[in-house]
Amino acid sequence: MAELARLLDDVRPLIVDARQQGERPRFLLLDREAYDAVAACKRVDRERGMPMMVLGMEIVQADQPIPQPRVF
C-alpha cells in the first residue's frame, strides 16, 4: 500500500548524496512498476503537459528491470 510513500523516502537520500558529490541530477530512473505507480498518481500533471516528477527529478522508465531507482 505504501508504495509511493516508500519510494520517496528511498529516493530522497539518492538525490541528496548525488548533490553532495557535486552532481546535479535531473532524472530519476524507475522500473516499470514504480513508473506506472507515479504515472497513475500524476494524471493531472500529464493532462497539463507537465513532466512527471518525483522530488524535482523527472522520471524515466528503465528498459530493463533495475534493482533500485537511480538518479542521473
Partner 1 sequence: MLSQAENDLLTRVTGDAPMGRMMRRYWFPVVLSDEVAERDGTPIRVRLLGEDLVAFRDTDGRVGVIEGRCPHRLASLALGRNEECGLRCIYHGWKFDVDGHCVDMPTEPEGYGFRDRVGVRSYPTVEAGGMVWTCLAPEGEVPPFPRYDWMELPATHCTVVKIGSHTNYLQATEGAIDSAHSWFLHRGGNVSRDWATRTAVSMDLSPRLETEDTAYGFRYAAIRKPNQNPDTEKYVRVTLYVMPSTAFIPRSLDRNTEVHVQIFVPVDDEHTMFYGVFFSQNGEPVRDMQATLRARRGIELDAEWYRLANAENAWLQDRAAMKTGESWCGIEGFPNQDIACQESMGPIVDRTAEHLGTSDVAIIRMRRRMLDAVERFEAGQPLIGQDPAIPYARVRSEQKIIGIGEPWQQVGAYAGEFAHR
Cell of 32: 516499470
Contact between 66 and partner 1 by CB under 8 A: the answer reads no
What's the closest the beta carbon of residue 64 comes to partner 1, in angstroms? 25
Contact between 12 and partner 1 by CB under 8 A: the answer reads yes
Per-residue mark of binding to partner 1, 14-43 (x: CB under 8 A): -xx--------------------xx-xxxx
User: Which phi and psi angles does 28 have, rounded to 5°?
Assistant: -125, 120
For residues 65 and 29, the answer to whether their CB atoms sit within 8 Å is no
- The H or E element spanning position 12 is helix 3-20
Contact between 47 and partner 1 by CB under 8 A: the answer reads no
